[in-house]
Structure 1
Amino acid sequence: MLKPINDLPPQVAGLHAFAEVTETEYEQALVSLLEDLLNKNNRINFILVLETDIHNFSPGCWCGSIKIGFKYFFKWKKVATVSDQKGVMGCSDLFKYILPGKFKTFPLDQLDEAMRWVSKR
C-alpha cells in the first residue's frame, strides 16, 4: 500500500510504502505525483519512505522505477530513499549511476534528515 506524504515543501513529492505494493499501484502513484510536481516545478525532488519488507514489493516495481526514471530523465534533482533494508539500499543506489541528479539513502531513524536534504534547494 502506498500513501502520499503530505506537508512537504512545494518542490518535493513523496510516497510512504507499507504492506504489499503492486507494480501498477506504484507506477500510477509515482507518475501522478511527478506530473503534479512538474506542473509546479521544473525539477523533481522526491522522497520514498519504505516501511515494508522488500518482498512486499512486486518484482516489477523496481523495473517500473527505471522506466519512469528514463521518462523524466532530465528532470531529476534529488531523490531520497529511506529504509532500514540493505537490499533496498543497494537497488536504490543503482539509480545514481543511471540517472542524472543526486540520490541518497537514509535509515528510517534519519527520516527528518532525509526530509531536510531532499527539500534543500
Structure 2
Amino acid sequence: MIELIPDMPADTLGFSARGTVSGEDYERVVVPAVEAMLATTPRVRLLYHLGPDFEGFEAAALWDDARLGFRHAFGWERVAVVTDVEWLRAAIRLLHFSIAGEVRVFADAEFERARQWICEPPAADDAKA
C-alpha cells in the first residue's frame, strides 16, 4: 500500500509504503500525483518512505516505478528515499545516475532529516540559471 504523506510543500510529493506495494498502488496513487504535479511544476521533489512495515514490491510496481522514473528523468529536482531495506539502498545508490536531480538515501531513523533536506532550497552552486 502507498499513501501520500500530508503537509508537504507545494513542489514536493511524499509517499509512504507499507506492506507489499502493487502495480495498482502505483497506478492509483503515485502516477496520478506525479503527473498532476509535473503538469504545474517543471521539477518535483520526492520524499519516499519505505519504513519498517514495508514488505516489498510486486513486479508490476517495480515496472511502474521504472517507467515513471525514466519517463520523467529530468522532472526530479530532489529525491529522498528513507529506508533501512539494504537491497533498496544499494539499488538506489547504483541507479541514481538515471535521475537528473539530486538523490539521497536516508535511514529510517533519519525520516525528519530527509523531510528537512527535501524542503531546503538548493545550494547556490546547485541552483539552475
TM-score using structure 2 length? 0.83
The RMSD of aligned alpha carbons is 1.6
8 Å Cα contact 1:27/1:65 also seen in 2: no
TM-score using structure 1 length? 0.88
- The match for 2:7 is 7
Q: Distance in 2 between matches of 1:35 and 1:86?
A: 29
**Identical pairs, percent:** 23
- The match for 2:87 is 87
Please identify, of 23-32 and 6-15, the stretch whose mean Cα deviation from structure 2 is larger. Answer: 23-32
Q: Which has the higher helix share?
A: 1
| Structure 1 unpaired stretches of 5+ | none
Q: Distance in 1 between matches of 2:47 and 2:92?
A: 12
8 Å Cα contact 1:23/1:64 also seen in 2: yes
Letter in 2 for 1:77: E
- Kindly report structure 1 stretches of 4+ aligned residues shifted beyond 3 Å: none
Q: Cα 1:77–1:112, aligned 2, differ >3 Å: closer, same or farther?
A: same
How far does residue 17 in structure 1 lie from its aligned partner after superposition?
Answer: 0.5
Q: Secondary structure at the match of 1:46?
A: strand
8 Å Cα contact 2:74/2:100 also seen in 1: yes
Q: Distance in 2 between matches of 1:62 and 1:91?
A: 12
| Structure 2 unpaired stretches of 5+ | 122-129
| Greater gyration radius | 2
8 Å Cα contact 2:73/2:98 also seen in 1: no
8 Å Cα contact 1:95/1:103 also seen in 2: no
Q: How many residues align?
A: 120
Q: Cα 1:86–1:2, aligned 2, differ >3 Å: closer, same or farther?
A: same
How far does residue 40 in structure 1 lie from its aligned partner after superposition?
Answer: 3.5
Counterpart check, 1:104 vs 2:111:
no
